[in-house]
Amino acid sequence: MKHPWLALAGLGLLGALALLWPVTGRTVLGTVEARVGGGGDRAARAAARVRPGLERDLAASSLRFGAPVFIRIFKAESELEVWVADGARYRLFRRYPVCAWSGALGPKLRQGDGQSPEGFYRVTRGQLNPRSQYHLSFNLGYPNAYDRSHGRTGDFLMVHGSCVSIGCYAMGDDGIEEIYTLVSAALDGGEPAVPVHIFPFRFADRAEAGWRDQPWADFWRNLREGHDAFERSGRPPRIGVAARRYVVTEATAP
């Protein structure tokens, strides 16, 4: 009988990877796809379609294509915001409806719970996936250091196209084309990582008295520290983790 590794060798790199990393409901091979070559045509075609309009709309708001961007997601409102750097502050460029997310308000706890995450994440170049089975996607980087400190498990939690979700944030194909293009341009422009902050709801619209008795109230207060720091400074705060809590340092002007 042929050794299984010899059998894999006959499939070529992509075939072997497909067996070693099976397809899930969230992505095909996750970020591995972006690293094995090919697949960039889809992202390039999307950029060719949406970039002229994005450049025009950014310029109309005195913003620059390729400037650093910051993303906020609000679960209850099913909205994703893209903010673009404008000198000392970031300005809201566009709100996109989230077509689908799964689970309930609160963080993701474990692999297979179908829960879309909440927390503070960062997207680097290696997390972009131009070959997602859901058109285009980027990996949020779950579990982050905070999640790992709480023993939380899961992988390939994405922001992607289409309108189905198993723990991800589905933006529809038109929405993800613009968002992906803005994130990619910011990374190309020198931003080392795009921060993505995910909240259960808009804190300004819900008094704490309405949720202080919820099971995740302490976690949400911790998230609110990052939310409020951005609201005050207009710049994404620096996020650390200590004693199993997020440590938020408000940004100062550059």
CA distances for 27 relative to 50, 129, 185, angstroms:
23, 9, 22
DSSP for 135-183, written as a single string:
SSEEE---S-HHHHHTT------EEESSS--SSSEE-HHHHHHHHHHHH
Give burial (CB, 10 Å; 0-12/13-18/19+) of 96: buried
Active site residues: 160, 168
Q: What are the φ/ψ torsions at residue 212 (nearest 5 degrees)?
A: -65, -20
The residue among 91, 153, 94, 143 whose CA lies nearest residue 120 is: 143
CA 179 to chain centre: 10
3-state helix, strand, coil in the chain (%, to 5): 35, 20, 45
